[in-house]
Amino acid sequence: MIGYAGSFNVLDYGASADGITDDSQALLNAWNDACSSSAGSPEVIIPQNMIFFLSPLTLKGPCNSENIYFVISGKLVSPMSPSIWTGQDPSQWLAFRNVSGLIVDGSGAIDGQGQGWWDQSCRYHPEMEGCTKLAPTALKFIFCSQCSISNIYFANSAQTHVLIERCNGFKVDNVMIQSPGNSPNTDGIHIQSSQYVAITNSKISSGDDCISIGDLSSNIQIYNIQCGPGHGISIGSLGKGGNYVQVENIHVNNAFFYGTTNGARIKTWQVGRGYVRDVTFENLEFNSVKNPIIIDQNYCDVRGACKEMVTGVQISNVGYKNIFGTSSTDIAINLNCSMSVPCTDITMQLIQLTPATSGRQVTAYCRNAYGQEYGIEPGPCLSQV
């Protein structure tokens, strides 16, 4: 064991920390020693004022101790060239897998250096031969339980910045995520097949959803978030392959959206089945947002071109409360629900949305959406049962 008992500094394992030499093996060796250590709460140390260049890397558990600390005080940087991933999983750069009690913390940064990927993205360059649909996530947590990440700065991931997948018990607090508003598919945080996740006190600027929630996710708390630019806080899209969707107990409270494409969004594919239920959006503020409140139960590849189907994901018991701000489009509230599987038990109260541009008016559009409302402007909108 290197260093004092319980502390595993990557410099002691031969890391160059020059931002050019590959430090992946040094980090892997430090992690493996920390993970197998019998120390009470071992720490992997990424020291400050240094830059560590890392190739794609997975840090695996389970570990011996109940908690393991991963302290990022310096800067971790990704390879700039997509060619580095030849023959490897293009969706992954850094990942933790099958770790319990992991605590990622520090004043450092994780830089995905995604420009090379963005320049060959199929979203923006569909005619390009060999364009890429899949690009690396900066940091993945897979099969992790009772873990947390806090105080880290993320920048310019090639695709999603943070992925929480098949995790149980996960906290994200006081992180900052920044990528350009036109960077393709750069979600801030994506939650997939996970339970008991809390995201709090964070600021996210991205080219896609600030926070997105995928299928098989439940008991998600999102509190005190600044979002913009980006595509808002989204549940979905869900049910693309006709699968049975199960999403419930999602609570978004105290969020501010600045210049985003969407605010509070739920989107499901017509071919999907299953349910989204027990969702609350409350204490939200919008500043010049295109779609402040939106449900799209008829999501499809080409907007408006898909024929209405008899299938659909059941959306029920969704509440919107104490929401105000400005819409940059004419439709401030847009609940586009399925004729076959309508939205039910929708509650809207104390909502005040006005035009971002003076002299214009905003409206509310509700289709096949049933519930109760009071104190709504624009409105009324919902159909009564």
DSSP state for residue 308 in the 8-state scheme: P
How high is the pLDDT of residue 261? Answer: 97
Helix (H, G, I), strand (E, B) or coil at 169: strand
Q: How many CB atoms lie within 10 A of CB 177?
A: 27
How high is the pLDDT of residue 384? Answer: 85
Is residue 298 predicted with pLDDT exceeding 90? no
The yes-or-no answer on residue 190 being catalytic is no
Q: How many CB atoms lie within 10 A of CB 330?
A: 12
Contact 217, 245 (CB under 8 A): no
CA distances from 149 to 104, 164, 222, 317 (A): 5, 11, 14, 31
pLDDT digits (tens, 9 = 90+) for 58-99: 999 999 999 999 999 999 999 999 999 999 999 999 999 999
Of 297, 224, 235, residue with least CA distance to 265:
235
Identity at 368, one-letter amino acid code:
N
pLDDT digits (tens, 9 = 90+) for 259-289: 999 999 999 999 999 999 999 999 999 999 9
pLDDT range class, residue 176, cuts 50, 70, 90: very high
pLDDT range class, residue 308, cuts 50, 70, 90: confident
What does the CA dihedral 364, 182, 77, 132 come to, rounded to 10 degrees?
A: 100
pLDDT digits (tens, 9 = 90+) for 125-175: 999 998 999 999 999 999 999 999 999 999 999 999 999 999 999 999 999
Identity at 381, one-letter amino acid code:
C
Tokens for 48, please give them: 């400050």
Per-residue pLDDT, averaged over 335-342, amounts to 95
pLDDT digits (tens, 9 = 90+) for 9-55: 999 999 999 999 999 999 999 999 999 998 889 999 999 999 999 99
CA 123/CA 131 separation, integer angstroms: 9
pLDDT range class, residue 1, cuts 50, 70, 90: very low
CA 333/CA 381 separation, integer angstroms: 8
Per-residue pLDDT, averaged over 173-186, amounts to 97
Q: Across the chain, what does the average pLDDT equal?
A: 95
How high is the pLDDT of residue 305? Answer: 67
Of 51, 157, 174, 39, residue with least CA distance to 104:
174
What does the CA dihedral 163, 135, 247, 308 come to, rounded to 10 degrees?
A: 170
pLDDT digits (tens, 9 = 90+) for 188-205: 999 999 999 999 999 999
pLDDT digits (tens, 9 = 90+) for 319-338: 999 999 999 999 999 999 99
Is residue 316 predicted with pLDDT exceeding 70? yes
Residue position matching structure tokens 């600021």: 203
The catalytic position among 125, 161, 231, 251 is 231
